[in-house]
Chains A and B, each alone.
Chain A
C-alpha cells in the first residue's frame, strides 16, 4: 500500500526499527503490541514534534498514544485521545472523533 499510495503529494516510506529511533524524522510512529512498554518513553520524546503515535494495546490511548487499535466483537476499532494528539503537536479534526472511541 505504501508503495502506491501518497499523502497529498508525498510518498509514504515505512521503516521498521527494533526500538524507537529519535533520529528518524517520522510523521507517524506505530508501536507494535510487544513494544507497548515504550509508550511513555516514545510519547515523551516525540512531544510537540507533530508525530502521530499509534499503538495496538489495551489502554494504549490512556498511556500516551493518540490512536490505539483494539478489537471489539471481532471488529477492529480505534480509541482516540485528542489530548495526546494536541500534546504531540498535532492539529485535530473533530470529524475524526465521531468515528472513534474517545478516551478523553
Chain B
C-alpha cells in the first residue's frame, strides 16, 4: 500500500495542476484516508474512506475501493481474523471486488490480488481450525469454499485440484477416525464418506482415501459379526446380519483391492483384505492372505475383529 500512496498523491496533484481542476472535498478525503492508513490509524481512515466510496464523485475510483480494502484489512487483522462471520472481512472483500470491477491499473490489481490471496489464506486456516479444533464440518467446509472462491479471484489460473484433495482427505480422515471410534456416529460416517469419495473422484487411486473408506465399511461389517460372536443376536436374525455384513465387506474389499493392486506389499491393504475374507468366510482367500501376512511379517489376530487402523 505504500506503493499506492506514491502514485495517488502525484496523480491527484497532476490533475489539479494540469487540468486546472480543484481538488474537491472527496478527493482530499481520499488522500487523507491514504495518509491515515500509512500512519497506522485505520479507524480514522475508515471513517474517511467510507465517505469517499459513498460519494458520487469518487465512488467509481478503483483507488478508493482498494484503499478501503486495505484499511478494513488492518482493522480486521486486529479483531476478526479468527471469526467465522466478520462484517469487516466481508466489506474488505466486497471493496476489492468493486475495485477489480473498475479496471484498476497493474499496481492496484496486484495489490488487490495480494489482499485477496491473504484473505483466502485466512479462510483456509479457518477451515483447518474448525476441522481440527471443533470438528465443525459445516463451518470448515464453508470456510474452505470461501478460500477457493477468493483464491480464484486473486489468481485466475490457479489449479485447486491438489488443495481439494488435501482438504477433503483431511476431513475424511478426521471423521472416519471419529466413526471408527464410535460406530453410532453416523453423521461422522456420512461426512467421511462424502469427502473421501470426492478425493477418489479427483484421484481414484489415492491410497489413504481408499484405505479410510475400506476400513469404515470393514468396521461396520465386523461389528455385525461380533454381535453374532458375542451371542447378542437372536438365531432368527443371524441370516440377515450375515447378509448385511457380506454387503459391507464387499464394499470394503473394492477399496482395499485398489490399494493392493498398486502395491501388493502394502501391509495395511494385505491385512485388511485378510480380515475382509474372514468376514466373507472365503477359506481359499483367507489362507492366501494369511500367507501374504506371514511373508510380510504382519501379525494377525485370531479374533474376528478388524484391523481398525
- Give me the interface of A with B, judged by CB distance under 8 Å: 1, 5, 71, 74-76, 99
Contact = CB atoms under 8 A, between A and B. Distances in A.
Given A1-B230, A75-B246, A99 B282 contact: no
A74 B231 contact: no
Given A1-B230, A1-B231, A75 B242 contact: yes
21 contacts: A1-B229, A1-B230, A1-B231, A5-B231, A71-B281, A71-B283, A74-B242, A74-B246, A74-B280, A74-B281, A74-B282, A75-B239, A75-B242, A75-B243, A75-B246, A75-B281, A76-B238, A76-B242, A76-B281, A99-B235, A99-B236
A76 B243 CA distance: 10
Contacts of B242: 74-76
Contacts of A71: 281, 283
Classify the secondary structure of A's interface with B.
loop
Contacts of B280: 74
A75 B228 CA distance: 12
Nearest to B239: A75
Interface in B236-295: 236, 238-239, 242-243, 246, 280-283
Interface of B: 229-231, 235-236, 238-239, 242-243, 246, 280-283
Contacts, number: 21
Contacts of B238: 76
Contacts of B283: 71
A99 B239 CA distance: 9
Contacts of B230: 1
Nearest to B225: A76
Given A1-B230, A74-B280, A76-B238, 17 more contacts: A1-B229, A1-B231, A5-B231, A71-B281, A71-B283, A74-B242, A74-B246, A74-B281, A74-B282, A75-B239, A75-B242, A75-B243, A75-B246, A75-B281, A76-B242, A99-B235, A99-B236
Interface centre among A5, A75, A76, A99 (most CB of B within 10 A): A75
B234 to A, nearest CB: 10
A5 B242 CA distance: 22
A1 B228 CA distance: 11
A58 B280 CA distance: 18
Q: Which 6 A-B pairs have the closest CB atoms?
A: A74-B280, A75-B242, A71-B281, A74-B246, A1-B231, A74-B281
Nearest to B229: A1
B273 to A, nearest CB: 15
A75 to B, nearest CB: 5
A76 B228 CA distance: 11
Contacts of B231: 1, 5
Contacts of A99: 235-236
Contacts of A5: 231
A53 B280 CA distance: 26
Contacts of B281: 71, 74-76
B93 to A, nearest CB: 56
